[in-house]
Amino acid sequence: MTVLPAPRPSVISRLRAAGCVFAEEEAGLLVAAATGPDHLDALVERRVSGLPLEHILGWADFCGLRIAVDAGVFVPRRRTGFLVRQAARLLPPNGGLGHVPVVVDLCCGSGAVGTALAALAGPLELHAADIDPAAVRCAARNIVPLGGAVHEGDLYEPLPERLRGRVDILAVNAPYVPSAEIGTMPQEARLHEPRVSLDGGKDGLQVQRRVAAAAPQWLAPGGSLLIETSRRQASRTAELFIRNGLTARVASSTKLDATVVIGTAVRGSPL
């Protein structure tokens, strides 16, 4: 376990006054990242001004991993670790029957979900895709060293055609905040993360509809689609799955305030 330098009380006070809930922890991370007193003051000033801590550090702690996160890229949330663990449970044992599972991290952002899945349940044939060029560049830093591939484009459009009908796990953290509620989000998100990674349209389900509609074309028989959503939206997300020929169940974690809808392509059913 890494022991962080003791932060100056003044740093903690500045962060706490700015509304940072975990001021002591953040102060320790900033002190560890600083090359000297002036650099530390600059880092603290950036945090106090509202810049996400992860953008300042250049990485996020996600599922026990350091995920590279560039400025302007969606920061992986702790609750999304629940999506990773649910997906890992659905993967066959490593090397089972000689089959390397095919995993797609769709709307990948930094590629945190795919990276964590590979660490938890690899080896995998891992692909990730995002429409945001900055996210694609960032995801490549995390996923390419693992042997995975990152594709730029709208949802399934950039995926290699050879993946059609072969995907075992389709893990998706698509935007699901209703457009009218973006303004109520914390400043860190609404000012420093791309709107395309947050805005789910009028009812928050706009992107989920498109994901669910095309998923049966890409999933292998028995493959699974997992989408993070909110507790209040879960029943409607599940309806989207069923409408498109998938089974649907809702998994949730009260501790993490996390909700995931899981759908499975029925074995032997026509696409």
Element (H, E) at 68: strand 65-68
How many H-runs (helices) and E-runs (strands) does the chain carry? 10, 9
Query: Taking a C-beta distance cutoff of 8 angstroms, is the pair 37, 43 a contact?
Result: no
Close Cβ partners of 13 (under 8 Å, ≥ 6 residues apart): 23
Q: What angle is formed at CA 12 by the lines to CA 9 and CA 16, rounded to 5 degrees?
A: 140
At 122 the pLDDT is 81
Which of 113, 106, 48, 50 shows the shortest CA–CA distance to 77? 113
Low-confidence stretches of the chain (pLDDT beneath 70): 1-7, 93-98, 267-271
pTM greater than 0.85 (yes/no): yes
What confidence tens digit (pLDDT) does each residue in 251-261 have?
Answer: 999 999 999 99
Please give the radius of gyration of the chain, using alpha carbons only, rounded to the nearest integer: 19
